[in-house]
Amino acid sequence: MDMSQYLGMFIEEARDHIQSLNDNMLKLEENPEDLQLVNEIFRSAHTLKGMAGTMGFVNMQKLTHAMENVLAAARDGKLKVNPNIMDILFKTVDALEAYLDVIVATGTEGQEANSHLVNALNAILGKPAEDMAVSSTSKAGKKYEYDEFVVRAIERAWTQGFNVYKFDVELDQNCLLKSARAYLVFRAVEEFGEIIHSKPSVQDIEDEKFDFEFSITVISKQPLEKIRERILSISEIREVKALEIKSGEVGRAEEKEEIEEVQQETQVQETVKVVRQQKQEPVQKTSKTVRVDIERLDVLMNLVSELIIIKSRIEGLAKKYNDRQYEESIEYLERITTSLHDAVMKVRMVPVERVFSRFPRMMRDLARELGKEFELVMSGEDTEVDRTIVDELGDPLIHLLRNAADHGIEDPEERVKNGKPRSGLIKLSAYHDGNNVVIEVEDDGKGIDLEKVKQKAIEKGLLKEDQIDLSDQEIIDFLFMPSFSTKDKVTNLSGRGVGLDVVKTKIEQLGGMVEVKTQKGKGTKFIIRLPLTLAIIQALLVTVHDEIYAIPVASIREIVDVAKEDIKVVQKGKEIIMLRNQVIPIKHLHSIVGLEPVLDKKKFTVVIVRRGEKLTGIIVDRLLGQQDIVIKSLGKYLEGIRLISGATILGDGAVAMILDPNMLTV
């Protein structure tokens, strides 16, 4: 049977299990006595083992099996978890993740057997290294292991003069309906004797939970060869290995019994769960979920975008007719498209937890690696953002968190000396702020040494020595320049600056921005502000000459009319206006987009845009109004035009450029 169709499901589910292994192991590390957690971990490992086995990933199966044994011992109180054991378990989880990565890339688990880990796990239980082969899967071994019940049946059979045979049946690779084939084998064998054991279990065989092989143990008075031939006479059987089990070759497999017990246990729990779910169903409908391929959602999103474009087009046409019914229908259409848009957006929203969840583990490793002490506190994991954004957030956040750990947090001794608690604190939080989502990475470390940054900027020739009147913010901006590092020795983790320019570029690509607040000796805070969605935004359409531009409404503070005489020219020809006692620099959109400004007007329309706390006024010719626009990329050929964040198609089919507000501010 072709397993590839299950591969996607396997990968998704294995990811979930590995994540929960990581999560629970981190918790266990803090509460080593918590048996509940050990149980959880055991269950994940056990399921993972079963899944890997079903998919034919033997190495992965062996590793999880060894892990499961250790966990079983811990659960039964035969073993106490200690940091050493935890380390090995964490490494095992890493190895499992590596398997999964290989599986994602190639569809096979690869060659890595991870025998050192299997040995290490076995060593915890005091098993010798060569015992690593899973006893129940060994076929060539002279000793046959069964559980107590089967062993007794076998012994009884011998005393009654029966023979005991074991048949390893291998089905043809092209065999469809494996379970039906197996059933035929069972029925054929039962003509001659009694099947007292099968591996996998009859239940699993019926559910097709086996590869192409299964083995059965039979008691019979008939000769071995006769039964073997009968099995081979069934079509699509590739090979039957028949063995007679002689007395003295049978052993009791204690460990296996245990696993069976666990299986029963989990089965019971599963039925309990099902029952409970059925009970809750009328109350809690939200628990019904479906996994959907993101590509299908993208298609849906595109269709909604098209609908919004055609809607604005029809709205434009409607103005020509003055028909009431026509207008009403259009209003109705407008309501439906808006709701549809909202609904599709919501489907695409996922909690930032998706990215956050891997950080506790990363920070734990980082603390060990750096020899520092700090705690990671996360909040707002349930804040939802568009899936496309969440997917891109991982890398920038890793940079910032590493940055905080490596450069922000001081060594424990230094902290104590400065009157701080020995252990540092790194906070990662997310929250909604209007149409934005804000993500903050904050540490209570030593803060950014602005003087040092300035020195470095001079050294690199980015700053002249006499330029001393720089604001703190302007100095901090140097950190975001490519290959700017304040660390004298760049570690393999990060050099402050080496990653920061990447962070900034990435966030700006996503239509967001990064701010830094720092206080010497108190700590540093990186604030990332991102739009909730990338695809459809509210924009203000403006004109300069005969060109139409869209400015995202989210970045507009207000719109004012300014008389010509109120525009003042300050140092080096910079134009400013005063708005409620605040100085606001202004720019002509004409010049920004490379056109001649119109200067001989009495009144100018100024759109005030903000970037963080900075305000800039943009002079435009005329306002066309506000509308939902669909953001379309300019494509790979035109990428890298910093001023333009995309294009949109207007109601009449014309194209308008969307201005990147981050580039508008001075």
Catalytic positions: 46, 68, 403
Closest CB to other proteins among 367 and 539? 539
Minimum Å gap between C-beta 556 and other proteins is 20
Beta carbon of residue 649, minimum distance to other proteins (angstroms, whole number): 5
What contacts 103, CB < 8 A, 6 or more positions away? 7, 10, 11, 14, 57, 109, 110
Q: Minimum Å distance from CB 654 to other proteins?
A: 6
Nearer to other proteins (CB atom), residue 55 or residue 630: 630
Residue span binding other proteins (CB under 8 A) among the ranges 63-71, 463-471, 555-563, 637-645? 637-645
From the CB of residue 213, how many other CB atoms can be counted at a distance below 10 Å?
A: 15
What residues contact 227, with CB distance under 8 A and at least 6 apart?
A: 165, 167, 189, 192, 193, 218, 220, 242
Q: Which stretch binds other proteins (CB under 8 A): 121-129, 386-394, 527-535, 648-656?
A: 648-656
Which one of the spans 165-173, 226-234, 467-475, 639-647 is the region binding other proteins (CB under 8 A)? 639-647
Rounded to whole angstroms, the Cα distance separating 14 from 315 reads 49
Instruction: State how far the Cα of 300 lies from the Cα of 307, in Å rounded to an integer.
Output: 11
**What minimum distance in Å lies between the beta carbon of 642 and other proteins?**
8
| Residues ≥6 apart with Cβ < 8 Å to 89 | 25, 67, 70
Minimum distance of other proteins from residue 594's CB (angstroms): 5
Count other Cβ atoms within 10 Å, centred on residue 32: 15
Q: How many residues bind other proteins (CB under 8 A)?
A: 24
Instruction: Tell me which stretch binds other proteins (CB under 8 A): 81-89, 93-101, 332-340, 635-643.
Output: 635-643
Among 86, 349, 350, 634, binds other proteins (CB under 8 A): 634
Could you give the C-alpha distances from 350 to 360, 389, 535, in angstroms and in order? 19, 10, 15
> Can you tell me which of 469, 636, 645, 666 binds other proteins, judged by CB under 8 A?
636
In whole angstroms, how close is the CB of 136 to other proteins at the nearest point? Answer: 50
Which DSSP string corresponds to 292-329?
Answer: --HHHHHHHHHHHHHHHHHHHHHHHHHTTS--HHHHHH
Cα gap 625→632, rounded to integer Å: 20
Name 324's Cβ contacts closer than 8 Å, sequence gap at least 6. none
**List 593, 610, 611, 626, residue binding other proteins (CB under 8 A):** 593
φ/ψ of residue 645, rounded to 5: -100, -5
* C-beta closer to other proteins: residue 437 or 550: 550
Range 190-229, binding other proteins (CB under 8 A): none
Name the segment binding other proteins (CB under 8 A); options: 8-16, 168-176, 386-394, 589-597. 589-597
Please, what is the minimum distance in Å from the beta carbon of residue 585 to other proteins? 20
Residue 120 burial (C-beta neighbours within 10 Å; 0-12, 13-18, 19+): buried
Of 551, 666, 568, the residue nearest 620 (C-alpha)? 551
Q: Which stretch binds other proteins (CB under 8 A): 43-51, 124-132, 456-464, 653-661?
A: 653-661
Task: Considering the complex, state which of residue 307 and residue 559 has its C-beta at the smaller distance from other proteins.
Answer: 307
Q: Verify cis geometry, omega within 30 degrees of 0, for the bond prior to 32.
A: no
28 binds other proteins (CB under 8 A): no
Q: Is 105 one of the binding residues for other proteins (CB under 8 A)?
A: no
Q: Which CB atom, from 409 or from 658, has the smaller least distance to other proteins?
A: 658
For residues 592 and 643, is the Cβ–Cβ distance under 8 A? Answer: yes
Is residue 657 a contact point for other proteins (CB under 8 A)?
Answer: yes
CA distances (Å), origin 170, targets 175, 223, 243: 10, 21, 14
Which phi and psi (to 5°) does residue 112 adopt? -60, 120
Of the candidate residues 268, 599, 638, 666, the single one contacting other proteins (CB under 8 A): 638
CA distance 35 to 38: 5
Which of residues 367, 448, 536, 656 is near other proteins by CB under 8 A? 656
Which window, 97-105, 460-468, 587-595, 609-617, contacts other proteins (CB under 8 A)?
587-595
The single residue among 275, 578, 655, 666 that binds other proteins, judged by CB under 8 A, is 655
Interaction between residue 157 and other proteins (CB under 8 A):
no
Q: Between residue 296 and residue 315, which ones bind other proteins under the rule CB under 8 A?
A: 306, 309
Amino acid (1-letter code) at residue 100: L
Structure tokens at 215: 């083995």
Rule CB under 8 A: choose which of 81, 216, 647, 664 binds other proteins: 647
- What's the full length of the chain, in residues? 666
Within 533-572, which residues bind other proteins (CB under 8 A)?
547
Contacting other proteins within 279-298 (CB under 8 A): none
Query: Rounded distance, CA 15 to CA 228, Å?
Result: 43
653 contributes a contact to other proteins by CB under 8 A: yes
Which CB atom, from 238 or from 313, has the smaller least distance to other proteins?
313
- Helical ranges in 136-253 per DSSP H: 148-159, 178-190, 202-206, 224-232
**Selected binder of other proteins within 188, 232, 345, 643 (CB under 8 A):** 643
Task: Pick one of 182, 426, 649, 664: the residue that binds other proteins (CB under 8 A).
Answer: 649
Of 592, 611, 623, 624, the one binding other proteins by CB under 8 A: 592
Query: Measured in whole angstroms, how far is the alpha carbon of residue 255 from the centre of its chain?
Result: 36
637 touches other proteins by CB under 8 A: yes
13-21, 390-398, 431-439, 627-635 -> range binding other proteins (CB under 8 A): 627-635
Q: Which is nearer to other proteins, 237 or 658 (CB)?
A: 658
Specify the DSSP class assigned to residue 408. Answer: I
In the chain, DSSP finds a helix count (H) and a strand count (E) of 21, 24
Closest distance of CB 640 from other proteins, Å: 10
Check residue 138 for interaction with other proteins (CB under 8 A).
Answer: no
- The residues binding other proteins (CB under 8 A) are 306, 309, 547, 592-594, 632-638, 641-644, 647, 649, 653-657
